[in-house]
Amino acid sequence: MTRPVHRVAPATDTPVRQGSLRAHNLDLIFRQIVGRRAPISRSELAAATGLTRPTISRIVEELLAGGLIVEAGPARSGNSGRPRVGLNLAPTGPAGLGLDIRVDTLTACVVDLTGAVRHLAFAPRAEAGSGSGSEEILSSLAAMAGEAIGAAAAENLTVVGATLAVPGPVQDGVVRFAPALGWRDVDARAALQARIARPGLPVLVGNDANLAALGELYASAPELRDFVCVSGEFDIGAGIVLAGTPLRGARGWSGGLGHVMVDSDGPPCACGATGCLQCYAGLQEILAAVPASGLPPHQSPAVAIDALVAAGSPAILTALERAGTALGTALSALVNIVDVDTVLLSGSYSLLASWLTEGIERELRRRVLTAGWAPVEVRPAPLGPDAAVIGAALSAIDAVRRDPNSWIARAPG
């Protein structure tokens, strides 16, 4: 816990330093409120931070006036029997905007400061211009962003940032390589900033698997702290969370599970290597086991696979069994190295979990050294296919969560 600094601040503080002290204490108190799911009283804030009651009262008033928190009413009584007024994050005020590109749809999502989803919109990919080029997709996403910003404003929410989730490694807003989209070195951040009708709106671009893990981390906190969130919407990615913190890697490129080798004699992969997990468990690769499946452009492979299973296709069941085994083999290597206790099947895998889980669990039991006394739990991710866009929206509002002073400084009145 960060210690309060008011006790050590010298009496000769200049106005500037008093200002930074105030900002520090405001940050400290706000973090306590962010970290709780239940309302917290002023007394509990004093106990948690070590700050004096007058300091707490002054800063709470400032957070209330800035619209970052609200009084939640007398949540419960203290020892004295007096009802205590709880403090919660405000459901109006700052909001984050998430954008996501899926096989069949484009998605936009707005979350408020409490993490609640306030707006969720989908547009079919087929309507994203004549093709799937980056220009058409980014223009469509910018239009969806404009609508989402308007919908948020109607609910007294101000979008403070946008994050786009993409299936591939990103560097400084540039999508280096997204084979599923055919994108290479696309400056998605600059393109969105130029097209979204909100000049100066901060835009981030992140990997979809890592953003899905962030969404699941928030949705399942504090119970879930060490897990891998595997999604197979396009390339298979694994968002890794250890001790409640997403593992980004040196350049934010961690989690490329799809190109872990599961069979050295396996077929060639689009990445140039051979025998990658992607060759066995990619959705398109699973579907390819049924040559006549005839998937229309931009239709979700998960929906097509589901339909083939429902029709009793033996070939698709065999392909799903093989995919589950390959996923279990690759995940075993990961679990042996990073020691997580839960595997979440996210994105389209969440829709196919009933056919994949058995094979994954079997390989984990066989290959994870510690599985004998500490089995790894495998289950569908609670947020399902929406995890990446929700995680993107959460990452967009994170700037206010980490720096509440920036919002208070800009808030009118």
| Contact indicator for 378, 345 with CB cutoff of 8 Å | yes
Q: Which is nearer to Zn ion, 33 or 269 (CB)?
A: 269
Using only the alpha carbons of the chain, give its radius of gyration: 24
Least Cα distance to 363 among 383, 391, 343 occurs for 343
| Site for Zn ion contains 259 (CB under 5 A) | yes
Q: What angle do CA 100, 110, 123 make, to 5 degrees?
A: 45
Supply the minimum distance, in Å, between the C-beta of residue 132 and Zn ion.
21
Q: Which is nearer to Zn ion, 263 or 341 (CB)?
A: 263
Q: Which of 276, 320, 360, 364 binds Zn ion (CB under 5 A)?
A: 276
Q: Which of 121, 126, 271, 399 binds Zn ion (CB under 5 A)?
A: 271
Q: Which stretch binds Zn ion (CB under 5 A): 136-144, 275-283, 294-302, 363-371?
A: 275-283
Supply the minimum distance, in Å, between the C-beta of residue 259 and Zn ion.
4
Burial 190-202 (b: 16+ CB within 10 A, else e): ebbbebbeeeebe
Q: What angle do CA 123, 129, 133 make, to 5 degrees?
A: 105
DSSP character for 253?
-
Q: Which stretch binds Zn ion (CB under 5 A): 55-63, 170-178, 253-261, 396-404?
A: 253-261
Q: Which stretch binds Zn ion (CB under 5 A): 66-74, 134-142, 259-267, 288-296?
A: 259-267
Q: How far is residue 401's CA from residue 355's CA, in Å, rounded to a whole number?
A: 39
Q: What angle do CA 121, 160, 230 make, to 5 degrees?
A: 55
Q: How far is residue 408's CA from residue 413's CA, in Å, rounded to a whole number?
A: 9
Q: Which stretch binds Zn ion (CB under 5 A): 27-35, 67-75, 255-263, 288-296?
A: 255-263
Q: How many residues bind Zn ion, per CB under 5 A? A: 5
Supply the minimum distance, in Å, between the C-beta of residue 40 and Zn ion.
48
Q: Which is nearer to Zn ion, 334 or 351 (CB)?
A: 334
Q: Which stretch binds Zn ion (CB under 5 A): 51-59, 225-233, 246-254, 267-275?
A: 267-275
Supply the minimum distance, in Å, between the C-beta of residue 207 and Zn ion.
16
Q: Which is nearer to Zn ion, 215 or 256 (CB)?
A: 256
Q: Which is nearer to Zn ion, 269 or 351 (CB)?
A: 269
The number of residues making up the chain comes to 413
Stretch (H or E) spanning 30: helix 15-34
User: Which residues of the chain form contacts with Zn ion (CB under 5 A)?
Assistant: 259, 269, 271, 273, 276
